[in-house]
Structure 1
């Protein structure tokens, strides 16, 4: 697997009992975010700069037989702090109003906007979380509003600043700052000390504060956020796209690139010896757990770890030794029978809560640290052209969806999630595809609780051969996103498929590059997933030269709309099955469009009747082949925003949804989709 771009201070040390150890990798106290300065084209927009490899130093290391993901010189931690507060830890929410200022000329860094001495009283205010797109863009959710005006089209750099009162008690703690998402990239300073840079709009990250933290003092936190312009002129008759080979996606795509601190952020103080991550796998009456423990202190830790498999599991708490050398990370492995744990399934979405507790090992010793996680017991297998859950063949009645509302963009509220995801259960859907980026943790928790399966995706959309080669051989951002996806969503029983890419380019001469890229992404997710979930992707073709690498064959099809006839789908599915007889097939996208309220014959393009008839024609052919087709994932739950002006977009609103964008009003196809009978039941 990948190697760290930052050399470790020590090599792997000898494993101690159930624990394997590696030294924590070195990370500069002031991580250099870029080589050189921001690039400004003479007649174009600001482009961000990039280091030789993606800036977080994401890599995986074998720690006593368990592959562990590291970022910024530490284990990539659990991000449950947005909703769950462990009793051994302290949390400081950063969800509040921050000072905010756009920096279109990229002058802020040179003028010291990161400095605690800066007078920012004249700056504006912005909520965190929020998308700066919605700061001042009247009519953002209207199909009739002229396109191209407002803060939705403010690109380049913008700065966020706030102050925090750091408790004096944190002197003996390991402290990190966590962000659930910042779009597109972020550089972070504490009292002018540069902590690091993160790239990727939809992946959570955590930066250690050692070297910058001053317990007992008020400190200034500054975040510089960057978003690349999509076009040089949004109102031009023929807009010219703005691209950056290092970014993912590297060019304009047909969803909206919301900018800013779009999800929650907080500071978390944990013990010097801490459980950074608890990986669990529940299957066949057993719970396999790997507690990833960090020792940030200067003394070796010799204690115990207790694993409680949770109420209702029938399992007993198990105690094992936990010996972690100073400045090292170790993995404590525990295997516990859970004879009474109910299986998780869409019909019965039973979950349990496992808790790991560290103690010093002395009698009646207090807790050093705790970490809990929700999990489910289920068995997922692929074979004989079928995808099986708990040994029962699945047919996935699925929906693609975008995480946004007209009121808040991608910074959705819990009430908005509940309202939108409520349509999932109303429609009889058993799979959501998180096209083409990771979602807020709320979504995975909701899916676990409601028995809705998930195909998770990363941002690798519409890459060309040059970017595939760059990502595989040098930059590594695609690999980092694959690793963090599998690591962060590992314990969710609802997540059943890892999606590796969407409609990326396959040149005739580039097929070897394409295959090597997908093999690299597949190896990344397989390296860290103890449950061996199947991988797939949303190919642009049914003749993908890498389908032999997929566990489940996935492709997008738009017969009768972009090409061919509706009736071409059935023969295409038969041909793919003949070529790969043992692999299940999943239609990862299909759909058409309609203007809400436009009614007429089902042969007239753009009417609600035409959209509904096109769905029925495709669904019928897929459902008739359920012995080897694992499902159909419709495009898309709701009309959605984009900057590309692609495919029937009005003020950037693509009208391919079952629901309208702002009002979320059902179209005719909504009810037709709801009534479509799953050939294998729920």
Structure 2
């Protein structure tokens, strides 16, 4: 993304506009007081489907007959994973691409706030026992077994352990930077006793989590179930026969956060991990622990795992249900897909015959004559009900509600079009954190933070640079705000891109899960593949192969075929031909060149790719609240406000081929990347202060931005 200091010669090759042989510079260093107050720029730029059944799972339909995973019986995770631990893959079920993890189709994660009558739930939010493991002795000493917690403390879940004991975390006084649990890295253990009713026997039980940062190893009653890697992506681990229905069960989770530096106070040496994403320190705060909600969910052995929705070219609703039979006997039944109130649509019913230990999909095209289109002006949402009933008796076996909206997205010429109308994106980047709760935000936190987006008259947010809590996408759907979703692929270097593409596969898993989990949200406009990662020379074969793999992943599982982009570090990205929308970060007038250089750069990029829309994925400067002076003086509120307006004006004056402008960043934010220590790690590039109490002049300037 960006940073706080002038770029220094570093490790990302690229080219500068007008000087094609100059290297791109994206280094970070601890800088002087004025420069350290902001976030480093990572870039020097170059111009640089009963309406008709399409694929119902009737007798003989293609199904997946791989056995469902019941959890490995190993004592714990291997010392080293040679590929990402969830075993993420895509399987073709009756002509629908379905994402699998841990040997099962990835289900919907709506159980965090929606409980179906056919299912059973054991919420796990609340008080857990907690213990740091600085010597990494917990596994060998058997902390995953037993119930003795005499040496454990209490912790609230969800939460970030950073805030357990870090005085003045939100302060700009950096005198105690490097101390407190905000800087406790390595392993920490969580344990909770969970009573499970007897009627859970015979059901398919999963441990569902919306996010644990960075890696989570899971045991139930001492049985190791699996590991999840990636701090911002939900996961569902099958519990299998580890569960004891009618008894109290023990859930144990070990969470790992790697260090960013060997020494936070002196700066120390950066700590890296080639297979991790990100693999090295980045300039946002890596809040640690069970940071989002989790629960046990018991579903019938024959279940509807997920529903995918999209608008067919003829205006009908295309709805696909993933049906799983975890039992031994063949399932004979009916799937009913009801498009919901307000749509004018009638339920579609499809018979199914599904062998045991297998899965398939059911797809219907349903006329919805009174359903309106979702847009920012009229964010119409509907609720689809998918039901699985037993053959012969008609008894309901399972049900799943899914919220959805109908709209089209396309790139026509050099513009993004929604419902066949061009859109101009006025947006902000933002980080998921508050001073009080870190990344473990409450619904009230989200409403307050995102409410500012509406007050700013913005119609677009970029989820830089990781997936958000499901509430964010629901909020955007209901409020008519477009979203560019991102994954954690920030600042990868070429060796890591190669490793991910050819062997480890975590970046592809993150991309697949992003598109799978957010597929039904009409607010999600764009898929973002990476942020400011390294580009190799000589045609960039490694970088292009990596980008191509990520694009193919989201395209494979997104039924709505959204455009793909990314936040490049350069306007001369050698993979822009693969992008549907050209996206790049630029900091003209701050780290290099002049504000006025943006216009000519946009013209040059358009000249090279005349059929592609261009989106500024980041631009901004910095100011410390209360610092005033001339608009030409760096660091003043006036300078920050004037700069954003200058960049906006150059974008909107080229509306024929620009898709919009995204300011960095909504609010000042915390980072551990070795600079801004005198400000307690707070980067002041926001429109408001970190605690959200003070709005800078740039806030009003952004609110007043108009397309003319």
> Is the TM-score greater than 0.5?
yes
The alignment's TM-score, normalised by the length of structure 1, stands at: 0.94
CA distance in 2, matches of 1:459, 1:295: 33
Instruction: State the SS of the aligned residue for 2:139.
Output: coil
- TM-score, structure 2 as length reference: 0.90
| Aligned equivalent of 1:267 | 296
1:43 corresponds in structure 2 to none
1:346 matched to 2:388: no
What is residue 21 of structure 1 aligned with on the other side?
63
Q: Deviations over 1:144-183 (max 9, x none)?
A: 1421110000000000000111111111211111010000
Equivalent in 318, 328, 331 of residue 301 of structure 1: 331
- Cα RMSD of the aligned pairs, angstroms, is 1.5
The reply on whether 1:193 has 2:231 as its aligned counterpart is no
Residue 123 (structure 1) aligned with residue 165 (structure 2): no
For structure 1, which runs of at least 5 residues remain unmatched after alignment?
A: 1-13, 38-49
Could you tell me which runs of 5 or more consecutive residues in structure 2 were left unpaired when the two chains were aligned: 1-55
The within-5 A match list for 1:369-518 is: 369-509=398-538, 511-518=540-547
Residues 639-680 of structure 1 deviation map (CA, whole Å, 9 limit, x = unaligned): 00000134797211000000100143110000000000135x
Per-residue deviation at 1:583? 0.3
SS at match of 1:211: helix
Mapped contact 2:213–2:231 kept (Cα < 8 A): yes
SS in 1 for 2:201: helix
- Tell me the residue number matched to 2:3: none
Change (3 A) 1:433 1:577: same
Task: Give how far 1:28 is off.
Answer: 6.5
> Per the alignment, do residues 91 and 621 of structure 1 end up closer, same or farther by CA in structure 2, a change over 3 Å counting?
same
Counterpart contact for 2:58–2:351, Cα < 8 Å:
no
Structure with larger RCO (C-alpha < 8 A, sep 6+): 2
1:545 aligns with 2:562: no
1:264-304 C-alpha deviation (Å, 9 max, x unpaired): 00000100000011111135521101100110001000110
**For 1:657, what is the secondary structure of its paired residue?**
coil
Q: Residue 573 in 1 paired to residue 602 in 2?
A: yes
> 5 Å matches for 1:515-530?
515-530=544-559
Secondary structure at the counterpart of residue 178 of structure 1: strand
CA distance in 2, matches of 1:183, 1:678: 40
Match of 1:325 among 345, 355, 361: 355
Superposed, which structure 2 residues align to 1:223-372 within 5 Å? 223-236=253-266, 238-283=267-312, 284-363=314-393, 365-372=394-401
**3-state secondary structure, aligned to 2:647:** helix
Report the counterpart of residue 637 of structure 2 in structure 1. 608
Aligned with 1:113 (options 143, 151, 156): 143
Query: How many residues matched?
Result: 651
Counterparts of 1:109 and 1:652, CA distance in 2: 33
Distance 1:28 1:290 in 2: 26
What is the distance in 2 between the residues matched to 1:229 and 1:34? 22
Q: Is the 8 A contact 1:18 1:333 kept in 2?
A: no
Q: Distance in 2 between matches of 1:259 and 1:554?
A: 30
Q: Which residue of 2 aligns with 1:169?
A: 199
Corresponding residue for 1:152? 182
Residue 650 (structure 1) aligned with residue 679 (structure 2) = yes
How far off is 1:17 after superposition? 5.3
Distance 1:341 1:649, change over 3 A: farther
On the 8 A contact 2:387/2:399 being kept in 1, the answer is yes
Aligned counterpart in structure 1 of residue 130 of structure 2, from 97, 100, 120: 100
2:208 corresponds, among 154, 172, 178, to 178
Shift of the alpha carbon at 1:217?
1.3
CA deviation after TM superposition for structure 1 residue 32, in Å: 5.9
